[in-house]
């Protein structure tokens, strides 16, 4: 038995379990299995046009929307934390699709336990500030409070200060990156696509998914969407699988 007490699965059993899970959650196709994490991590650089003054010289964390890789993988990231849908937790447990959550304290503090359950099931929890403000309008000190204050919350509630931070709305300036660096942030991943329950939005004009793309979605439900988080995951997985992409863990590539 494995340390968690389960008997190790054969490849055949694992495949059968994936097929059954895909059917249970009414996916059009069985999600592809990602390759093992790369032995040599890609070098992450700031995307052209996304630099701030002195970015490289100051050693500020890179801002990027895609991870350089030839592998047909994408990365799922889910932001904020307002919706705490137990069906989403069950679905992700069942399908074993990796993802990273970027959490904002003002919407998660009524139920940290929900996110601890996601974490125990394998999600990586990252920083999305205390109050989800438009950061470039704030002083350096206020930005430091928003970002580093959330690092403290993450440490207290989830055991770790994340290395990944995403600014609300994707908006930042040099002070944002300086403040983030001052409390241990090493990467600032943005996104190249955004998935909703009823559509995909693309940063690139050709509206194509590329290897290494970071995909954004949100913890939202019927209050804001014409559907549920499982509906959003279904839309996400059906498209990436149909186009031959597996979903990999972002942190494995950083």
In total, the chain counts a number of residues equal to 254
Residues 41-80 that bind Zn ion (CB under 5 A): 79-80
CB of 155 vs Zn ion, minimal distance in Å: 21
Residues 164-193 that bind Zn ion (CB under 5 A): 168
Instruction: State yes or no: residue 146 binds Zn ion (CB under 5 A).
Output: no
Copy the structure tokens of residue 238.
């059906």
CB of 71 vs Zn ion, minimal distance in Å: 28
> Which is nearer to Zn ion, 80 or 175 (by Cβ)?
80
Give the C-alpha separation, 215 to 219, whole Å: 14
Give the C-alpha separation, 141 to 112, whole Å: 26
Copy the structure tokens of residue 77.
């990231």
CB of 126 vs Zn ion, minimal distance in Å: 12
Task: Tell me the site size for Zn ion, rule CB under 5 A.
Answer: 3
CB of 149 vs Zn ion, minimal distance in Å: 16
> Which is nearer to Zn ion, 62 or 168 (by Cβ)?
168
Give the C-alpha separation, 247 to 217, whole Å: 14
> Which is nearer to Zn ion, 72 or 128 (by Cβ)?
128
> Which is nearer to Zn ion, 101 or 247 (by Cβ)?
101
Contact string (CB under 5 A) for Zn ion, positions 75-94, x = contact? ----xx--------------
Q: How far apart are the first and last CA of the chain?
A: 31
CB of 104 vs Zn ion, minimal distance in Å: 6
> Which is nearer to Zn ion, 34 or 162 (by Cβ)?
162
Contact residues for Zn ion, defined by CB under 5 A: 79-80, 168
């Amino acid at each position: 038995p494995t340390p968690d007490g389960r008997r190790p699965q054969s490849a055949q059993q694992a495949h059968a379990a994936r097929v059954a899970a895909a059917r249970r959650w009414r996916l059009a196709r069985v999600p592809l299995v990602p390759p093992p994490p790369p032995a040599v991590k890609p070098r992450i650089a700031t995307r052209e046009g996304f630099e701030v003054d002195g970015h490289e010289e100051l050693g500020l964390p890179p801002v990027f929307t895609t991870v350089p890789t030839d592998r047909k993988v994408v990365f799922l990231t889910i932001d904020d934390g307002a919706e705490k849908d137990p069906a989403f937790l069950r679905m992700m447990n069942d399908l074993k699709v990796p993802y990273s959550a970027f959490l904002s304290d003002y919407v998660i503090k009524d139920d940290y336990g929900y996110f601890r359950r996601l974490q125990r099931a394998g999600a990586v929890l990252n920083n999305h500030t205390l109050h989800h403000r438009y950061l470039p309008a704030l002083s350096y000190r206020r930005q430091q409070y928003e970002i580093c204050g959330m690092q403290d919350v993450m440490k207290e509630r989830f055991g770790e200060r994340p290395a990944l931070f995403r600014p609300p709305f994707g908006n930042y300036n040099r002070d944002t990156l300086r403040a983030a660096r001052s409390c241990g942030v090493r990467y600032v991943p943005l996104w190249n696509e955004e998935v909703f329950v009823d559509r995909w939005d693309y940063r690139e004009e050709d509206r194509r998914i590329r290897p290494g793309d970071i995909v954004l979605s949100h913890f939202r439900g019927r209050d804001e969407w014409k559907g549920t988080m499982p509906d959003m995951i279904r839309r996400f997985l059906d498209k990436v699988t149909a186009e031959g992409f597996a979903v990999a863990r972002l942190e494995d590539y950083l």
